[in-house]
Structure 1
Amino acid sequence: MRKGQNTVHKISSLQAARGLAALAVIAFHSLFINAKYIPGATWLPDIFVFGQTGVDLFFVISGFVMVLASANKFGVRGEIFNFLKGRAIRIYPVYWVYFFAVLLVFMLKPGMVNSSQAGEVNLLHSFLLLPDANLPLVLVAWSLIHEVWFYLVFAFILLLPQRWVPLAFAAWLCSVALVSVLYSGPVSPYLRTVKHEFSIEFILGALAGIVYLKAISEPSKWRLPTGTVALFGICLIAYAVISGLIDGSDVIQSISLSRAFIVGGGYTLLLLALALQESKSQWAVPGFLKSLGDMSYSLYLSHILTLSVCGRIWTALGNAEGGIVASVLFWAISLPVVIIVGYLSYKLIERPLNKYLSRGLKVKRISQPVVN
């Protein structure tokens, strides 16, 4: 799989998908921000509810890229430590910047943070990204808790010989699916994370990564019709939209198996088709999508905070009236601000931190999607 290992950084479609996933999540959260700060009608379309699946896409991308980044490393002594060290550097330092920023606000004005759960939060669990009955201090970090779990399981799979890896992922997928069907009793926060159907989407992405590496290393044996694969993926996503499978309900406790397989499967097939087509034609995505992908983690961490600040400033300036005109004006100002803040966060915080820590701890930097 040497060829696959060398192409990890060149799959621009995965980078573009990161940016689109971040935009989708922003679109979903904009519905709630609009309802909170601009009463009355809104120009934001109902389809923005489907933006919630940006998280599903992030998980699929994460599984896909983890396999690509670990090609030829399965069963190699010492790789588990290098992998976990690299993932910790990628996830925690930037997240902690936002954690301490929100913590400062929480200490000065507790009512402004986590008001939906009366300010109840476990600071230690939030800091370490551990499962908890309450949401973390930085609300969007609930998805990072799943990422940490995925990385821990993946690290153990790294111990296995390469030939056993597909079987390990298949066993993990079957275990999650069976528990989802058979167990309906009470769950602790840790069990909720372990059994959550989001794991299926990460696994589907990982299996797609295995197929991709096989297809580019043995093209004569793995001739996949990328057009058909992409069409099937589009059909699954279209079905999810038409059937109302995504209704904006809470996904933190659990999601349906149908969502995991239909939405996660649709995104998996689309990513696989795009990556395979890119390996054949060497096409590149537009620069602005690549830039969005580069800053997607910072964008994900910062967007709710930025939108909340915009909303409070909007209200403080006396713009209490709602309606279409107010909504259009608010978003014409706020959305560019969200992108600018995400970009500055990436340039001034995320990228310098990653470079400094990677050099200091001698970790190879991997351009990879994190649920950001």
Structure 2
Amino acid sequence: MNNEYLIHNTIPMNLRNLPESLSPHERCAVRRMTIQDTLEVNLSNLGTEPHRIGDAEEKNCEQMFGSVPIPIGYAGPLTVELSNNEIVDLHLPLGTTEGALVASVNRGCRAISGHTKTHAIYHGISRTIAFKIDKKPEQLINSITEKEDIWKAAGEATSSHLKIINTHIDRSDSHLFLTINADTDEAMGMNMITIAADAIGHWIANNLCKDGTTCRLITIAGNVDSDKKPSKRTHDLGRGYEVHAEANLSTKVIQETLKTTPESMMHVADAKLKDGSHIASALGSNLHAANIIAALYLATGQDAAHVVEGSLADTTVMQTKDGLQISVRLPAILVGVRGGGTSLPAQKQCLDLLLKPQTSLRPTQQLAESIGAAVLAGEVSLLAAQAAHTLASSHKKMAR
């Protein structure tokens, strides 16, 4: 089938210009029926419900014609000591279609509950502005440095919830990259930092790219920030929240709850996390951190594409006198409690469940540390399953 055939035989569908009198639920239904009738497919299971759609059709998804239910499984409770020394019982809503995942995380919760501590470092959300430089890059760098207070103010003027916390300049032969990191309050902040980067980029282009300095603004998303992409820089320096979670497990817990031995778990850790990851040149040496991050991001309305950065986690296993110390470092947990999908009805309820009870921590930090603890539970359980050689049998039993 050639392109000319497709162009001349595609039936146009009116999915945008719908009567203003229709409700969001009704607009979804009209689009769904239009697609269904035009393309002769059955989309009946994608129907929406008026009380569950929230603002999705108006704020979250263009040309929305339905929704796909994601199963939510419960794991917990998981007793954790957060970085402010408050002890909480976490209840984890895991959105997944992968059989055995919830059961595995639930077992991990039983193993590490009461033995786990977390802490977090906030690096802020970042955007990188790229400029083309033809000559005198040092002059532009000096001007950017000298005028920092002014262009920072231009960026911060775009939102009362945004505060620039640090900046960094990189150079290639033909481009200059200005990365800005900002505190975006209770939002994950990608929209805010993008709008601020746009204001900053244009201020620099209009005010500094002159007077003998040949430069021009190329893009406000220059990839040094590595948004939704894996990079060594994000792995090493962190982005959003860098979360650490650690648990000390006794031999008794390992034998009775995890059904294996410390020695067997160490053997798997040495082979998988050290040698295997090294041979693969992996950015992040972990067991399946992305599984748990994805499940919690989906359930709580986070931007699921940021699972990419979440997968950069490193899991470390050390033998102790009476068992094992297992820790995980997550360099880039990008979460918010406002904005995006967090206000959709079902996602908001899952978010409230995960953040219950509220602590004295900033809500976004509590959420990030909770995710870190959940990841640790998943890492411990999968490590034990591989040590006991029950990984395949568990999936055979639960995932089919």
TM-score past 0.5 threshold: no
Q: Which TM-score applies when normalising by structure 1?
A: 0.21
Q: Which has the higher contact order (CA 8 A, sep 6+)?
A: 1
- Structure showing greater radius of gyration is 2
Q: Which TM-score applies when normalising by structure 2?
A: 0.19
* More strand by percentage: 2
* More helix by percentage: 1
